[in-house]
Chains A and B, each alone.
Chain A
């Protein structure tokens, strides 16, 4: 198996040897940023293509198939189009906030994205409160949405943004509770350690009932966090035309669009890391030959495979269910998910203390 830790170390030592210390750090940062942004965009494009094809498959359609082989270049065409689209100056809008809003959303998802452990050592930030950091970074995206709605000087945007604020902040809670449940199980908040601990068995298996409950709640809350159907009220097309980004044209809209998909990736990524063992291969006690064979598949393939499986699950939901109403969304969160989440946390704690985990 490739160990990225050693590769990282060798790159660092090389840079340190040819450059002064500060410059070397700066170059490293720049390299990392470039890699992170490139990976971010690549995944966004892959996911947009995937969404179109998956949605087409569910709807008995073909989906894009004319632009490039199997429509593979479709998303690139969209990107070119969006890049050259006019950016409209909205009358009476708050210019500064209006311009800032999409960047806030993208920034939030980009920072969270870089915390995901793609493989052993292939992770930008890894420190002892990594899980906290992920939660904090992912939650300031809602600020961008609120600002977008507020600064657009449009009533639809405003309603969309307020709905979004109410929804995202609420669901943050049950998401955090699920993550905490897993932190109780693992006993650490360092992301790399959490993954490493799952070598002998994924947490969704080891934590059995409470972990499965947490996983389900996490998927529901995560879906709500990303504003996708059945929780797509902030941009409910049939009610609010396009919700909080009604007034955004060109790349402003493009950034929201990309951020929505990347948030989906991040939700799936966190689910993979916490529940499905991250980049660790499938391990079945007793079957040594099988386990050895699994070891040969690189960690990044494991990680992406699991992530895209979760994404596919979420897309399935998105293209099947009708939309909820705002009061139902909040009732679901506050009356059902939060109490169940709290109870689940208690059960998990009891399980861990009594040693009832596998």
Chain B
């Protein structure tokens, strides 16, 4: 249950500046809202990166035609992306924002889809088979002297026509899905990077608003398919928290083990894809070879290889199979030996080291400001593991080390992942022999209604903090369901750290940040 403090729009910017000065340096989440009669608004979740205090603030505006809220993008860098997302979904314009474009939808899209009065009729937005025109000029709103909202003041060019602009993506082998970069080059050096997302935006948040709670679960696996268990864990946890439901110890054990297995799976894939992007195809195949063994275990327990649909509200779908513990242990022992192979063939290779050490450095301050949680943040020296910050499931009972490197470059980002595999194995080994007896699922009513209120739960996904925000109005469907994307902060940071590097480095940086596009676009 969240306790939200409403701020008056007049004193909004000053309040936010004060909070930042008070040490609230991590903008955890920014949630656009449409409260219909009470107007549009934005909820901000702030966190102090040192003390882990959390604060929830909200701002509301009744104007619907051209609602304007002052920007915070100069206070927290990640807000630049989040505000574009809110603008895209709710049409709230942020005064002072330097680049007020749509983030996910086409720029000729009509309407703001997450507003409650949005008309989804296909006559308004049909499937257009001509590509959208690149928006070269953006609107920028200035904040006037008296902190009142001001009109459009400036037009700015994103990429100038006399620059050598190349387009990478959306269909490109190195973008790990469908992300599009527009690069302004000078020789091989990147001068400006403009990232376009939304090529896999499926409108999951909007669809959730018309689904019952158990139905919404299916979407989480398809967000970031490499942290399917963790995503679903977060949503189940949030709903259980709202219902006041305690899951059994057995469920906690199973969930924790599966989360860690999933993390190993994801990190192996990250290693593989990074190797592939840098031209070492054999290392890629090595990673996939070992991942298959893990998938065998997952498949035996859950029935699926990639999309597993395992966690449900109150427990898990099916009990673990009898040979589970033995197989997991065998796998863990095997994987530890395999890791050495990865270091031999790829990580310690002189070419790889030369290409990754000192490339794409993300400083600790920037990492916090961008909110790049997960391996990327930890490689920059920011202790941002949700398992340590806000422990859930069994993470306060097991002993494990939070891997932190301080280089902040591509090499450290890979090392963090590889070392986390070892830690995950360590966690699994502590739990696997002690799974308590009990029910694997607590019975729930067929129709689940959450009490009125706002709920937030977060887990450590494979590539960062995955948060779920639910606003319930006491019905069987959520009024608003928001997922905190793990990847959006990563690409926001990428846009900044890629500048000044070579085209080839862009690929390395992209691979080391390890984003999964369906998670960004939702």
Contact = CB atoms under 8 A, between A and B. Distances in A.
A238 B280 contact: no
State which size class the interface on B falls in: 20 to 34
A320 B350 CA distance: 12
Interface in A229-244: 229-230, 232-233, 236-239, 241
Given A322-B346, A328-B354, A328-B355, A236 B505 contact: no
A59 B284 CA distance: 9
A321 B504 contact: no
B21 interface: no
B188 interface: yes
B26 to A, nearest CB: 33
B289 A320 contact: no
Interface string B166-188: 10000011100000000000001
A322 B355 contact: yes
Contacts of B505: 325
A324 interface: yes
A328 B359 CA distance: 13
A327 interface: yes
A238 B166 contact: no
Nearest to A230: B351
Interface in B31-61: none
A236 B278 CA distance: 9
Contacts of A230: 279, 351
B285 interface: yes
Nearest to A326: B188
Interface string A309-334: 00000000001111111111000000
A165 to B, nearest CB: 13
A323 B283 CA distance: 12
A55 B352 CA distance: 20
B185 to A, nearest CB: 8
B37 to A, nearest CB: 51
B15 interface: no
A257 B462 CA distance: 40
Contacts of B507: 238-239
Nearest to A240: B503
Nearest to B276: A238
Given A156-B166, A239-B503, A322 B173 contact: no
Chain B interface helix/strand/loop/mixed? helix
Contacts of B172: 241
Contact of B275 (A58, A241, A322, A324): A322
A133 B285 CA distance: 42
Contacts of B354: 324-325, 328
Contacts of A156: 166
B277 interface: yes
Contact of B278 (A55, A159, A320, A323): A323
Q: Which of B173, B275, B504 has the most CB of A within 10 A?
A: B504
Contacts of A229: 279
Given A61-B285, A322-B351, A324-B355, A236 B502 contact: no
Contact of A326 (B283, B349, B502): B502
Nearest to A58: B282
Interface in A209-260: 229-230, 232-233, 236-239, 241
A327 to B, nearest CB: 7
Contacts of B188: 159, 326-327
B2 interface: no
A319 B355 contact: no
Contacts of A155: 164, 166
B345 interface: yes
B351 A321 contact: yes
B7 interface: no
Interface string A45-62: 000000000010011110
B503 A319 contact: no
A326 B352 CA distance: 14
Find the residue from A230, A238, A322, A326 having the highest chain B CB count within 10 A. Answer: A322
B4 interface: no
B281 interface: yes
A146 to B, nearest CB: 17
Contacts of A232: 279
Given A230-B351, A325-B355, A59 B282 contact: yes
A243 B195 CA distance: 22
Interface string B272-315: 00011111111101100100000000000000000000000000
Contact of A319 (B173, B281, B352): B281
A161 to B, nearest CB: 13
A319 B502 contact: no
Contacts of A322: 275, 278-280, 283, 346, 349, 351-352, 355
B285 A60 contact: yes
A323 B351 contact: yes
Nearest to A331: B354
Nearest to B510: A238
A155 B166 CA distance: 7
Interface in A140-169: 155-156, 159
Given A60-B289, A61-B285, A325-B505, 19 more contacts: A58-B282, A59-B282, A59-B285, A155-B166, A230-B279, A232-B279, A238-B278, A239-B503, A319-B282, A321-B279, A321-B351, A322-B275, A322-B279, A322-B280, A322-B349, A322-B355, A323-B278, A323-B504, A328-B351
27 contacts: A55-B281, A59-B286, A61-B285, A155-B164, A156-B166, A159-B166, A229-B279, A230-B279, A230-B351, A237-B173, A238-B276, A238-B277, A238-B278, A239-B174, A239-B503, A239-B507, A319-B281, A319-B282, A321-B351, A322-B278, A322-B351, A323-B278, A323-B279, A323-B504, A325-B354, A325-B502, A328-B355
Interface of B: 164, 166, 172-174, 188, 275-283, 285-286, 289, 345-346, 349, 351-352, 354-355, 502-505, 507
The 5 A-B residue pairs whose C-beta atoms are closest, nearest first, are A323-B279, A322-B280, A322-B278, A59-B285, A238-B174
